Structure 1
């Protein structure tokens, strides 16, 4: 079964084809590298939200609690990613290039889906606190309110990074990307939040081109994915990949419960 044939690979947000797969080279320039790394992060987000969207109407009552925790992890992960961009990555790009409005379009796109995204997050907190009862149809409606502009943003940002090539060696995107990644990962709990990225990163995607993502020592990746992630294993049953990093079909795609 190829990666693109899984239910979650194309809807509601299609996976992004990475710049490196479109222009394969053993030594990609820093802009292709950075845009590809960002594509990988965005594809983790896409897989997570696709898995929520597709399974939400079919989750049986016995699985509501772990599914809510899984959704909270996805929400928190996306929120941390965008806060990391706005608090560090974007300002650093503007400082180094001297272009004060360089990333305004991207920040504007964040704003385009902010209200719908935050409404989803508020609902999740109400569920977590027992003030709401889980409703799969409501979940889909809340997602529909922001998933369109989110999809546009996740795709458009890749082009933005590639276009930074006009600044040449003035930028060190590998260094900036690593610094941002370290900051974001440092804000996420290793057992309740970070696994949403590791268990929605498909090691086989684009013929295994991204098997070494994220760019951290392999033993650290193994510990985070196959060690810490098992702490709340019931949460991650809804993810698109197993503890081995390989893709799998979603377990809850049947009749509404």
Structure 2
């Protein structure tokens, strides 16, 4: 009896894992490759500027300080305060927003989430795809929808650069009547070329990946020296071994 229950339990767990893996693989297959490079400091600097101008009005980064950005991205305190600090916070403070909870509730229904860890939760490819997947939808309160994240309660923050995008729908579902979004098409060009827009989205994505784990920059640089140290230590151990064993026959 116990053996049968154990077998059923393990079978249920295996089935659940298989379904979860299949759903994850299906979702991952729809994502665009972001191609971010945390070693590209200029990309991170551009991403920080774009984030502050287009995203920080609503979304905070409460686990990241202005001073840490300056240290990691090679920016002086003056450059950070003049170009990235739009809330009047002090240099050593976390990145907050000027949006009040009352206004957020009125416009969006709730306070927009903090994005400090969004890259660690969703992944860089998800962020990159999400920012490129907004389209006009008159049925939504703010007039925008998102192919990757349907019924997202936010407008397209980058519409001026990207332009206006319409959805291309497939055949309606016989059961629900919903029409899946099969593609997106730019109907009114934005202020920049598509390739430049893609790079801007990639820069923002890179900055958010950095914000999720600022220590990654130093860890990767330190890793090279750790490898050199281990190689040198191995060489010393080899020489010591030869010294101890040279008289052993």
So what's the TM-score if we normalise by structure 1? 0.26
Compare relative contact order (CA 8 Å, sep 6+) and give the higher one, 1 or 2: 1
Of Structure 1 and Structure 2, the greater strand share is in: 2
User: Which structure features the higher share of helix residues?
Assistant: 1
Larger-gyration structure (1/2): 2
TM-score, normalisation: structure 2:
0.26
